[in-house]
A = this chain, B = another copy of it.
Amino acid sequence: MNKTPQEQFMLEAISLSSHGMINNEGGPFGCVIVKNNMIIGRGHNKVISTNDPTAHAEIVAIRDACQHLGAFQLDGCQLYTSCEPCPMCLGAIYWARPEKVFYACTRSDAAQIGFDDHFIYEEIMSDQQQRKLPMKQLLRSEALKVFSSWSAKSDKTFY
């Protein structure tokens, strides 16, 4: 059966998920980023091979696509990921601002094979005092001085 362009892009993301897993680079996750019907960024999970806990497929693909575009935003792009993004990657997607996200497996599917993104979703949605991760505030007034300098800065770039 003929595949739609969207299905073909997703198959490429799934192919990357398999490739990285077979090479022991990380978990079974892949991602491609498309603009004007061309793939402009690719990524698969490289947490193990690069000792980088942030090297999830989506983050790797976003960085790759942004280098390709020479821009820090994915204007007019679609992101195809072989699994529903974890909170880190979903946050990265919001900062990168693609126009649409396609995903294949769900976060429940990921939990079934041992990746408990669900725990992180729960934690992020919890009040700070309820989280398992201890967080403590320190020296706010010192840091606010730098924020004031940012506000007063005339040559700043927003992102």
Contact = CB atoms under 8 A, between A and B. Distances in A.
Interface of A: 6-7, 10-11, 14, 17-18, 21, 24, 26-28, 47-48, 51-54, 59, 62-63, 66-67, 69-73, 80, 82-84, 86-97, 99-106, 109-110, 112-114, 119-121, 123-125, 133-140, 142-144, 146-147, 149-151, 153, 155-159
A117 to B, nearest CB: 9
B92 A88 contact: yes
A101 B53 contact: no
Given A54-B59, A88-B91, 7 more contacts: A10-B138, A54-B63, A87-B87, A87-B90, A88-B92, A100-B133, A104-B143
B63 A159 contact: no
Number of copies: 2
A146 B21 contact: yes
Contacts of A120: 91, 94-95
B51 A137 contact: no
Contacts of A100: 133-136
A24 B83 CA distance: 35
